[in-house]
Amino acid sequence: MKLEIYDDYIDKKILEDLELDLLMNKPWYFGCDTDWDNPNRSITLAHVIPRELFTPVENYFLQKLNKNFDISNIGRCYYNCFRKCDKPGFHTDPGGHTHMFYLNPEWEESWGGHTEFKKEESETPQRVAPKPGRLVVFDARWIHRGTEPSTFMPDRIPGRMSIAFQERE
């Protein structure tokens, strides 16, 4: 499978309408790309929801995916919010494929926050910018990571937000 990128998959107006809910109503927890007992762990803001607990927000995204993809094997979603100075590590996801939406209704290229993908550890990563409403679909076994936003990101923006729908293993 190749890296698939779909621009404007979610309308920017929808992202604007969802922003307050994402910031004020979704619980954000500390997440880690490695085992918690790893002394080199990198902690970011995250939130995992199993499919049986999806709210109308997650179900909206799932129904958008259902127009072009088989969603029968999606088992959970994983929210990320990368902040300035976060240092997320490379990792793989569970399952077969990951379907990731960028959630910020506003984002400038100079703000960073790209996602980096590589099939093998020795490769130079391919970078994908977090364009509002963009959907990225990839093989969950690919090594990837989000990157921290730059200092150019305005302080009124909490971080680079995304939601990834992950298939069951």
pLDDT digits (tens, 9 = 90+) for 118-130: 988 888 999 999 9
Pull the structure tokens for residue 42. 């990198």
pLDDT digits (tens, 9 = 90+) for 20-30: 888 888 888 88
What does the buried/exposed string (b/e) look like for 120-131 if buried means 16 or more CB atoms within 10 Å of the residue's CB? eeeeebeebebb
pLDDT digits (tens, 9 = 90+) for 79-110: 999 999 888 888 899 889 999 999 999 999 99
Rounded to the nearest 5 degrees, what angle is found at the Cα of 167, between the Cα atoms of 162 and 168? 135
What is residue 1's predicted lDDT score, i.e. its pLDDT? 62
User: What is the pTM for the complete model shown?
Assistant: 0.93
Report the 10 Å Cβ neighbour count for 53.
Answer: 10
Distance CA 1, CA 138 (A): 7
Angle between helices 56-66 and 12-24 (to 10 degrees): 150
Pull the structure tokens for residue 83. 């902040």
The residue whose two tokens read 């494929």 is 97
**Beta strands at 126-128 and 115-118: parallel, antiparallel or unpaired:** antiparallel
- Contact between 10 and 64 (Cβ < 8 Å): yes
The residue whose two tokens read 């910020």 is 104
Pull the structure tokens for residue 119. 């099939």
